Amino acid sequence: MDIFSLEFVTSLLLIVGIDLVLAGDNAIVIGLAARKLPKQQQKKAVIWGTVGAVVIRMVAAMILVTLLKIPGLHLVGGLLLIWIAYKLITDNQQHDENVEASPSLWGAVRTIVIADALMGLDNVLAISGAAHDSYLLVGLGLLISVPIVMWGSTLFIKLIEKFPWVIYVGGAILAYTAGHMVTGEKFLDDVFSSEILSWGFMLLVILIVLAAGFYRNLYIATLKKQHNIQG
């Protein structure tokens, strides 16, 4: 893929958006893991923990990009990403405050790396799907995720708190990536034989994810309201 092509630039921007959308939980875990350290060591823990986590993600993403060349895995990955997009919109659970907070620098770094590896499947899958089999895009995307995890995600969290609808934008980005993975599946070339069919399917996936997420959130909000009234 030509690095000066519109497709490359568009894919890179999509990966940056994915990083921003999915980095919030990881940034919070980093903060929780480093919270018992002295102030002067917290920054080091964040930096080294994030670097270690990104290296692990990069290896995992490179492996996944290779695996996605196997027939059928684009379809499986796309369907998984549709579920991840839905969960992003509807998951209102509080972050686990019991994340191990180590009093030592390297203990905190270890906690950050392990926690990120366990939580990072959604990010790795989304980036691999958006990279269109390009190892360069995967590498650039994950390198860009370093400052986003450390600084940008905090801004995104605040943005969501002020404008809750922004989370639906994130869901739409993931749903688009999922739809693109499905339509890019080789053995479905006959099904998506035209650009109109491909774009129509991707739009349908986005609409279904957003509608399902919206009505799920509305249902939960109604239940909470009824509970508060009864209480």
Cβ 123 vs Cβ 145: under 8 Å: yes
Tokens of 75: 């379809």
> Between residues 190 and 156, which one has the greater pLDDT?
190
Highest mean pLDDT among 7-11, 120-124, 179-183, 184-188: 179-183
Percent of the chain with pLDDT over 90: 11
**What per-residue confidence (pLDDT) applies to 15?**
80
Give dist(CA 132, CA 137) in Å, integer. Answer: 8
User: Which residue matches tokens 């996936």?
Assistant: 205
Domain ranges of the chain: 6-230
Averaged confidence pLDDT in the chain: 78
**What per-residue confidence (pLDDT) applies to 1?**
58
Give the global pTM: 0.72
Per-residue pLDDT tens for 19-33? 777 666 666 666 666
Residue of 168, 199, 178 lying closest to 129 (CA atoms): 178
Residue 99 identity: V
Q: How confident is the model at residue 204 (pLDDT cuts 50, 70, 90)?
A: very high
**What per-residue confidence (pLDDT) applies to 202?**
94
Per-residue pLDDT tens for 92-135? 544 454 455 666 777 777 776 776 666 566 677 787 888 777 88
Tell me: pLDDT of 183 over 80: yes
Secondary structure of the chain in the HEC alphabet? CCCCCHHHHHHHHHHHHHHHHHHHHHHHHHHHHCCCCCHHHHHHHHHHHHHHHHHHHHHHHHHHHHHCCCCCHHHHHHHHHHHHHHHHHHCCCCCCCCCCCCCCHHHHHHHHHHHHHHHCHHHHHHHHHHCCCCHHHHHHHHHHHHHHHHHHHHHHHHHHHHCCCHHHHHHHHHHHHHHHHHHCCHHHCCCCCCHHHHHHHHHHHHHHHHHHHHHHHHHHHHHHHHHHHHC
Per-residue pLDDT tens for 39-54? 777 777 777 777 777 7
Q: Span 81-90, mean pLDDT?
A: 86
Tell me: pLDDT of 213 over 90: yes
**What per-residue confidence (pLDDT) applies to 211?**
96
